[in-house]
Structure 1
Amino acid sequence: MDGVEPELVDDAEHALMHEPGVLGVRDLKMRWIGHRLHADAELDIDPRATLAEAHAIAHSAEHSLTHAVPKLATALVHVYPAHDAANSEV
């Protein structure tokens, strides 16, 4: 099984972390399917963001990923409201 080069994962994470509105990267999975690279990302955003704002952040993040990572064919981005770990109940 072919793994994704760590440099490509680093490039993707860097692009996502510098995207306006992104507070954190929860998860990033990249995989080769044939000769095409695919990415799935889960991002934390401001919990007060509207649905339209969340959609715009996700769309922009997908666009940034496809330009930051060579050979990336598709990117699927999910956004979640960031939460303050200090205020959450366990």
Structure 2
Amino acid sequence: MTVNIELENAEDFPFIKELLEKLKGVKSVSVQEDEEFYEDGTPKWFIERLADYADRMEEKDMISEEEFFSNARKKACELYSRK
């Protein structure tokens, strides 16, 4: 079983951690900092990793807009023709 506890007062964490560690069967007690989000709800870490990935992309890894839409049209035709 996994339990998440959200504390408003971080100063209480040492007490809570000590208390939880005394319980039989507790495997770990860890802290996860609050994640930062953009207004649309997207986590900032996701956008940062996406930007890193985009920076590593090379011309040979990409297709043109025309190729993309051509592939999308072909796939749509395949899906509709299966009916």
TM-score, normalisation: structure 1: 0.30
Structure showing the higher strand proportion among its residues: 1
The structure with the greater share of residues assigned to helix is 2
Larger Rg: 2
